[in-house]
Amino acid sequence: MPVTIKSLVEGSLADNSKLEINDRIISINGNEINDFLDLQFHSADDVLEITYLNISGVTKKIVIHQDGETPVGIIPQEHKCRTCANDCIFCFVDQMPDNLRDSLYIKDDDYRFSFVFGNFITLTNLSDKDISRMIEQKLNPLYISVHTTNPILHRKMLRYKHNFNIIDKLHLLSNNGMEFHTQIVVIPGWNDGKELESSLMDLTSPELNSLSVGIVPIGLTKFRNSLTQLSPLTLKQAKQILQISSQFSRTYCSDEIYLLANEEIPPEEFYDGYTQLENGIGMIRLLLENWKFRKHDFISDIQSIDKKIVFITAKLAFSTIEEISNEINKLLPHKTRATLVINNAFGETVTVAGLLNASDIIQQVNLKNNEIPAFSSNLFNDNNLTIDGVSKDDLRKHFENEILIINEEFDAWMVL
């Protein structure tokens, strides 16, 4: 399907050509243009013969000669995300409450977003043409949700109806030079124990180009009445997962598993550059490392704030934030405190700060006149909205005061 031009960069090669907004790019040098990645990949040649449909539906051709300095400058319309074809027994979207941001209900399973943004995909909705294209365009690395390499169990957990073999697909990608980070969402009684050990043996095999394996616990909310009955990880099971994972290279467990097992978060060198940070793997370690280097700047900055700072967080990071608060108070007595917000909107088993609702914060946090709230930046999306659609400005108005926003890795902060 042709790609529609949303805009042209001023002064670019395309801007100085006959192309116009809303023209639809059909091909470049004979290669079909179906999305933004095709447009980028096939715009690298020195000479571009572009076939397009103008707004009147007439097919036209132009030739653009690149000069090595001026950008081509074609900005396509927003890409429509390819959604998931599975019916996973553990899907988090299926167990979310109503009235959250619309984008949260999209079951993203788009290999293009995996390459660009690091989103995890299952591969189950890809055609042979998609696979060939990924290989041709060298879309490395991809991020793949595997969960188990046992094909029978894989189908039982993801509940797709067509023929698909995850381990065969991973070998196909590897044999064609593709690299990938992988993920296993552990579900007690399903893919843990011997199944987990078998999957890790496969994924860390030299025959696969698996760059890392991330192990995360299943997320369960209180909205599961009509869904498959599943259980959260226990302390014993978390310890077992850590023991199994320790036997395999390039394998990392999420912070939550360490905390569930009452085990220390590993040192920084363990995480090899935090390859799965967005998966909650190494986030606490990075926060602590950044705190070591930024603490003096932060403490110096908050000295000028004439009010006490209240760090607001969820259960997972609370003990870490409380430690930081206590350290600050040794230098600036009574300057900060940490307060825990329970996630009533999703259920108490959801413990990450990024899934806190503003409604829970407003109901549970009571500040004194001399206090201002401090929030992690991951509480908000790119439009500065919480998961239930409340803006930073709305929170500031509610607390009738300034608010402090701190990057979730504690390497930047601002007062609003």
Give the containing element (helix H, strand E) for 293. helix 283-302
Domains of the chain: 3-76 (2.30.42.10), 93-280 (3.80.30.10), 285-415 (3.40.50)
Mean pLDDT of 12-27: 94
Band of residue 1 on the pLDDT scale cut at 50, 70, 90 = confident
Q: Tell me, what's the pLDDT at 102?
A: 83
pLDDT digits (tens, 9 = 90+) for 110-147: 999 999 999 999 999 999 999 999 999 999 999 999 99
Q: What percent of the chain has pLDDT over 70?
A: 100
Q: What percent of the chain has pLDDT over 90?
A: 83
Is a pLDDT exceeding 90 seen at residue 416?
no
pLDDT digits (tens, 9 = 90+) for 310-325: 999 999 999 999 999 9
Q: What is the DSSP string of 183-212?
A: EEEE-TTTTSHHHHHHHHHHHTSTTS-EEE
Burial of 96 (0-12, 13-18, 19+ CB in 10 A): middle
> Please, what is the average pLDDT of the chain?
93
Mean pLDDT of 326-344: 95
pLDDT digits (tens, 9 = 90+) for 197-250: 999 999 999 999 999 999 999 999 999 988 999 999 999 999 999 999 999 999
Residue 242 Cα distances to 76, 97, 193, 217, 386, angstroms: 45, 32, 11, 12, 33
Q: Answer whether 376's CB lies under 8 Å from 389's CB.
A: no
Residue 326 Cα distances to 76, 284, 292, 330, 368, angstroms: 50, 17, 14, 7, 19
* Token representation of residue 117: 């943004």
The number of beta carbons lying within 10 Å of the beta carbon of residue 19 is 22
Mean pLDDT of 75-80: 91
Residue 45 Cα distances to 31, 40, 221, 262, angstroms: 12, 10, 50, 55
pLDDT digits (tens, 9 = 90+) for 98-116: 888 888 888 999 999 999 9
Burial of 345 (0-12, 13-18, 19+ CB in 10 A): buried
Question: What one-character DSSP code corresponds to residue 121?
Answer: B
Band of residue 407 on the pLDDT scale cut at 50, 70, 90 = confident
